[in-house]
Amino acid sequence: MRQKPLVGLIMGSRSDWETMKHAAEILENFNIQYEKKIVSAHRTPDLLYQYAESAEERGLKVIIAGAGGAAHLPGMVAAKTIVPVLGVPIKSAALNGLDSLLSIAQMPGGIPVGTLAIGKAGAKNAGLLAVSILANNDVSLKERIHHFRKVQAKEALVEPWEN
């Protein structure tokens, strides 16, 4: 039987997938059950409400939301659920993602969104943060994160003149 998704990976547009696929890659590498979906506060507001309102009872533990420009998606999702929301600012063409970053980060007190860096690194880190949150209740996942960090540290020291 397929397990229920623990992480919801959503994005405002299909054009965000190039960035958000880096979060998906992390979730897949750690073998986390997740679902992915295009949801937009602007273009599909009813779907957004439905998605956010049902997230908790559907068993989602973390939502990763990527959006660019007037990036209202993460904040609006957070307004409608108590499931933790991690926001990924997509690098926009007009303002290089600074618009996305500020739209996601500058939430009013009371409705938190954990904001990551702009673009690929932010998406990757959102995936890793979701894994860390889930690992609080999963010892074997914790061990795998420790292993990931060890491998990463080793790789960081590979010198460019080595072959």
Ligand X SMILES: Nc1c(C(=O)O)ncn1[C@@H]1O[C@H](COP(=O)(O)O)[C@@H](O)[C@H]1O
Using the rule CB under 6 A, which residue among 24, 26, 62, 69 binds ligand X? 69
Q: How far apart are CA 62 and CA 6, in angstroms?
A: 7
**Region near ligand X per CB under 6 A, out of 8-16, 23-31, 49-57, 142-150:** 8-16
By the 10 Å C-beta count (0-12 exposed, 13-18 middle, 19+ buried), 5 is classed as middle
Q: How far is CA 99 from CA 58, 69, 93, in A?
A: 32, 5, 10
Give least dist CB 121 to ligand X, A: 17
Site membership for ligand X, residue 13 (CB under 6 A) = yes
Q: Could you give the residue ranges of the DSSP H alpha helices within the chain? A: 17-29, 45-55, 73-80, 98-105, 120-135, 139-156
**Site pattern 92..131 for ligand X (x: CB under 6 A):** ----------------------------------------
Other Cβ atoms closer than 10 A to 38? 16
The binder of ligand X chosen from 50, 58, 70, 136 (CB under 6 A): 70
| Contact pattern from residue 23 through residue 62 relative to ligand X, giving x for each residue in contact according to CB under 6 A and a dash for the rest | -----------------xxxx-------------------
Interface residue with ligand X, options 6, 8, 9, 12 (CB under 6 A): 12
- Work out whether 73 is an interface residue with ligand X (CB under 6 A): yes
Contacts of residue 8, Cβ cutoff 8 Å, sequence gap at least 6: 34, 35, 37, 51, 55, 60, 62, 63, 64, 83
**132 is an annotated ligand-binding site residue:** no
Amino acid identity of 98? L
Interaction site with ligand X (CB under 6 A): 12-13, 15-16, 40-43, 67-73, 90
What residues are designated binding site for substrate? 13, 16, 43
